Structure 1
Amino acid sequence: MRAFIASSIGVTCAAALVLPLAAPAGAAPDTPAHSAAMGGPAPAEASEPAPLSGSTQSLALTSLPAASARATGQPIAVAAGQGLTERDVRAFSMVGVVWDDVSAELHGTAQVRTRATGTHRWSGWQDLETHNAEHSADPGTAERDSGAARGSTAPLWVGDSDGVEVRVNPEAPDARGGSAPSVPLPGGLRLELVDPGKDPRQVPATGAAGADRTAGITALPALSRLATDAAAGYVPGAAPLIGPRPRIITRQGWGADEKLRERAFTYTKSVKAAFIHHSATGNNYACSQAPAVLRGIYRYHVRSSGWRDIGYNFAVDKCGNIYEGRAGGVTKAVMGAHTLGFNTNTMGIAVLGTFSDANPPAAAVNAVAKLTAWKLGLYGANPKGRVTLVSGGSNKYKEGKKVELNVISGHRDGFATECPGARLYKKLGTARTSSARLQGR
């Protein structure tokens, strides 16, 4: 495999996108010890190879008292919940819950409350989106079947924190079902506390090693239509309908630690469709914090969920900034782990935030349109068109089923899920129209 990222910025800049070779994710020493006792101390953290890497604390959940009666006082069989009581921990900014079996579903609720660093201020209880395996590598792929992949909730961005409490409860039994017990929680539940590490641009350079951290390209500049065609290797006027390339912040630009991910890249044949997601990490971030949010998601996907790299091919923040996601080349058909059953010949774009009840900013929707006009155009796809994809197996379409979908689809179109949130999903029609117009259709 090539150990560099190709791009469409032209021959003169291609060499600047070379990435250093990195050890496989499973080889890096970053698996913290677990705390099995409710009152036990925070686990010792494995040493980090570089100060920019961030860190992950992993704490095993323990049983909480089971409810034994309905509000009416009638006895009912309820599976015990799990969690952790209030405790002091090392600093973190992102939190999620994982479990051992990547195919197991969490039928219930996961909630956390956190304390702002250096204060006595605790947040209210906040929900974690349970995910239930909908964001993952496809069945039968090496990434999913490696034995490292785990089930997980979406990670939640909570900002600088040093205290945490968590509770995970199974779904209540069906009110119509009488005494039917609830579904037990999956095994091996653990709380993952992620410190995304420092922004490389804010770390003073000290000698040659420090200077190396700020070398290279941190963003691919926006290109005009003519420059985009030329960069893609087409003679102006003879190119297919490709939208102008938007500005894209590279992995180096948001501070991705290339030692975390696997070295090799995995490609498919084409990019026939784009699946739009929300990251479900919450909306309480400033756009200046978006790189840290991405570093947190990246670390959570690799270290906590056991994926080879961040799952999304691209990300967009609420100010409309576009970020390179999974490594392998922004122009390439890189296989992601974003839409279970439909990762082949597609790309995944995550809008950073939660848009179930909140409207996505217009800047973010416009950025989705710009990105899809360019990337889908490279592969001849019409953003307003339809495409037939073959399901790799999901809770909505069985393996091998041919499914006709919009070229720009929401995650819920391929998998029964809330993602990308009802409010963002309603904006996809606008994104399709704008994207097609940018292509000249």
Structure 2
Amino acid sequence: MRISPRALRGRPPVVLLAVLTAALTLPSIPAGARAGGGVPVTRPGSAGPTGGGSVTSLPLTGGRLPAGRTAQRFDLLGVGWDGPARALAGGTVRVRTRDAATGVWSGWHELETDGEDGPDGADAGADATGTAAGRAPRGATAPLWTGPSDGVAVEVTPGPAGPPPGLRVELVDPGEGVRPAGPRTVPAEPSAAEPSAAEPSATEPADGGRRTGHHQAPRPEIVTRAGWGADESIREPDFQYTGPVRAVFVHHTATTTEYACSDAPRLIRAIYQYHVQSNGWRDIGYNFLVDRCGTVYEGRAGGTDLPVHGAHTLGFNTDTAGVAAIGTFVTDVPPADLLTGVARIAAWKLGLTDQDAAGSTRLVSGSDGSLYPAGTGAVLRAVSGHRDAFNTECPGDALYPKLPELRAEAARLQGR
């Protein structure tokens, strides 16, 4: 995923059809407000003992929102709409935000309007199943991590197709996290054959995804979803699985690189809420995330040692896993500990099916939106970057050249 942080350097917006603008301090949320009705709507998480966070939608109906009203603060935002994910293709979305502590406004940031990651197949809710109530087809920009903020300005320049219906800015408050109801970590152990901590599912693969090979790397310690405070009430309750994992795609979240590692769970909760409540996906898109200190976090639910079907690399979510490095690594050099964490989780995950982390594999594209038309076979490295399958800068120009080192280290951990 690319959560674009690029500030535009003073250039005025280019008007293709119309420019929709909104400059505001956040409005209060009236009870009973409905989405798309021209008034703010909040979608809370569960009322957990320590708070599950919320997503607030501010409609861009009529091109403007009133200023001067107040509401809860937010840490992440994006712009969403009703209809296909690519409805804003060719358009631009710019945002700027106000720091809640200082009142200082940021420069303009441009959000990515083309869906870089997400479920394969038709544009639909609940990872293209279209079966979940309240998850009709909708699209959204890549999100932007803002940190604690209390004001926002938005400019939308539609693409050739015109403005999609239901344009809205989505403001995410990650909350304090739901108090853990299960283990906070999966301990680091060399064995990959022990049972998964996930609940059994009718759709679990017959082999459990645990074909232990000769070159099995040790499992790193993994912070569970309970450990980062996931609100399990907002995701789809069942799990989806794919075939044996034969490749790992490395991403960056493009959030700040200067965060304290203790704040990583808050950032993950915000991404999770945006993926589910704004994008309409069944769960967070990534299978794993790694912070700057090298800590590995469980992403999509279903069992860390099982081949959980993710929504991380459009066209290539089948038989793969997505690992997101938390930070922006376009020019910022990824910390050594982060690289070690990515190598460890990639080595372990690929080793479960005896896939050589330094080798290659053949995958079949599931989407015309990728670099390869749907149904086309592609030979990709077992540890690939997001840009190897999609036209994107992800995982950043500073992280992507590190992939050969990651492959070598992961292969070493596998005993190759």
TM-score bracket for this pair, using the shorter chain length: 0.7 to 0.9
Question: Would you say 1:96 and 2:78 are equivalent positions?
Answer: yes
Moved more, 278-287 or 82-91: 82-91
Distance 2:318 2:404 in 1: 23
Distance 1:46-1:249 versus aligned 2 partners, 3 A rule: closer
Shift of 1:369: 0.5
Point out the structure with the larger helix share: 1
Spell out, residue by residue over 1:61-102, the C-alpha distance to the aligned partner (whole angstroms, 9 max, x if none).
2566xxxxxxxxxxxxxxxxx888786442111111112223
Instruction: Judge conservation of contact 2:241–2:309 (CA < 8 Å) in 1.
Output: yes
Matched with 1:188 is 166
Matched with 1:159 is 147
Distance 1:83 1:404 in 2: 48
1:113 to 87, 91, 96: 96
Look up the SS of the partner of 2:76 in the other structure: strand
Gaps of 5+ in 2: 1-30, 197-211
Shift of 1:407: 0.7
Spell out, residue by residue over 1:28-87, the C-alpha distance to the aligned partner (whole angstroms, 9 max, x if none).
xx99645766xxxx72535654142111110112566xxxxxxxxxxxxxxxxx888786
Matched with 1:136 is 118
Matched with 2:176 is 198
Look up the SS of the partner of 2:147 in the other structure: strand
Look up the SS of the partner of 1:253 in the other structure: coil
Matched with 1:416 is 391
Instruction: Judge conservation of contact 2:87–2:161 (CA < 8 Å) in 1.
Output: no
Shift of 1:278: 1.1
Look up the SS of the partner of 1:300 in the other structure: helix
Distance 2:66 2:330 in 1: 27
Identity of aligned residues (%): 49
Shift of 1:337: 0.6
Distance 1:232 1:385 in 2: 28
| Matched ranges for 1:144-293 at <5 A | 144-146=128-130, 148-170=136-158, 184-200=162-178, 213-223=179-189, 227-228=190-191, 231=194, 240-293=214-267
Matched with 2:415 is 440
| Matched ranges for 1:32-71 at <5 A | 33-34=34-35, 43-45=40-42, 49-51=46-48, 52-62=51-61
2:57 maps to amino acid: S
Instruction: Judge conservation of contact 1:394–1:415 (CA < 8 Å) in 2.
Output: no
Instruction: Judge conservation of contact 1:199–1:255 (CA < 8 Å) in 2.
Output: yes
Instruction: Judge conservation of contact 2:45–2:233 (CA < 8 Å) in 1.
Output: no
Distance 1:48 1:313 in 2: 21
Distance 1:87-1:97 versus aligned 2 partners, 3 A rule: farther
Distance 1:273 1:190 in 2: 36
Q: Tell me the number of residue pairs that the alignment of Structure 1 and Structure 2 aligns.
A: 361
Distance 1:229-1:265 versus aligned 2 partners, 3 A rule: closer
Moved more, 365-374 or 42-51: 42-51
Distance 1:31-1:55 versus aligned 2 partners, 3 A rule: farther
Matched with 2:406 is 431
Instruction: Judge conservation of contact 1:139–1:145 (CA < 8 Å) in 2.
Output: no
Distance 1:129 1:90 in 2: 25
Gaps of 5+ in 1: 1-29, 65-81, 172-181, 201-212
Distance 1:435 1:32 in 2: 50
Spell out, residue by residue over 1:336-393, the C-alpha distance to the aligned partner (whole angstroms, 9 max, x if none).
0111111111001111122223222221111110101111000111111110001112
Distance 1:103-1:232 versus aligned 2 partners, 3 A rule: same
- Decide which structure has the larger Cα Rg and report it: 1
Moved more, 411-420 or 102-111: 102-111
